[in-house]
Amino acid sequence: MNLGISGKWALVCAASKGLGRGCAEALVQEGVNVVITARGDDALQSTARALRALDPDVEVRAVAGDITTAEGRAAALAACPQVDILVNNAGGPPPGDFREWDRDAWLKALDANMLTPIALIQAVIDPMAARGFGRIVNITSAAVKAPIDVLGLSNGARSGLTGFVAGVARQPRVAGANVTINNLLPGPFDTDRLRATAVGAAAKSGKSIDEVLAVRRQANPSGRFGTAQEFGAYCAFLCSVHAGYVTGQNLLMDGGAYPGTF
């Protein structure tokens, strides 16, 4: 299937590794020019080189910076001639016990996983509508649908974003202008983030990291973790010309882990 987005420009946030990188790779493979961001410049430049190697005709720009700051967002937006596609992503908040989270911990989580995507949506949505094409995908979490108690910061902040998106996506001047906003909800995907959470669980339980990961794989109906490539392919489809009638949705990608019918 030709996704029909070759030559468009995408801003893919937090994309040197993991799910963001998977999205950038899939878009580049469809001929989309990308601006990718991450905090660490070394990993970012290495990812940019790998993306250029996928398609030498595609332009790849790498902007190092913290996307949760106003400066980081301004630099990312300035590097993108026009944002036809926005993939919102940032690191997830740390796990913990809600009794220990102070206001500062909450503000950090809200900044990263709610207010940053909202600020970027605000910056790009009207120009998208004026051009008659826009695709926004927010990487959230399966925890929005099935909360994980130790990830309360994530459950809370991402649910705030989800509520906001539900309203904006349905505005006639957004949906009616061929601008879609959807949330992709990853379950367990094989990335550094997942491995980092396994390190904590291993230390607590006295098991090895491999044992913890094996138990988690078996606990999933598919018997495995998802891959960043699978995630990227779904994201690219949502960004395609074919997905203009899909908006305001929370799309779970979890190997069947969520036990409900709907």
- Residues near ligand NAD, by CB under 6 A: 14-20, 37-40, 66-68, 89-92, 139, 141-142, 186, 188-189, 191-194
Is the CB of 20 or the CB of 134 nearer to ligand NAD?
Answer: 20
Between 161 and 177, CB nearer to ligand NAD: 161
Residue ranges of E strands in 80-178: 85-88, 134-139
For the bound state, the minimum distance from the C-beta of residue 65 to ligand NAD, rounded and expressed in Å, comes to: 7
CA distance 123 to 77: 8
The rounded distance, in Å, linking the Cα atoms of 240 and 24 is: 14
- With respect to ligand NAD, which residue has the nearer C-beta, 175 or 239? 239
Q: How far is the CB of 140 from ligand NAD (least distance, A)?
A: 7
Least distance (Å) from ligand NAD to the CB of residue 251? 13
Residue 151 or 177 having the CB closest to ligand NAD: 151
Q: List the beta bridge partners of residue 186.
A: 253
Alpha-carbon distance 160 to 117, whole Å? 11
Q: How far is the CB of 7 from ligand NAD (least distance, A)?
A: 25
Closest to 34 measured CA to CA, from 103, 82, 67: 82
- Least spacing, CB of residue 253 vs ligand NAD, in Å: 9
Q: Which is nearer to ligand NAD, 191 or 247 (CB)?
A: 191
DSSP state of 183: E
Question: With 0-12 CB in 10 A as exposed, 13-18 as middle and 19+ as buried, what is 138?
Answer: buried
CA distance 142 to 147: 8
Residue 130's CB is within 10 A of a number of other CB atoms, namely 11
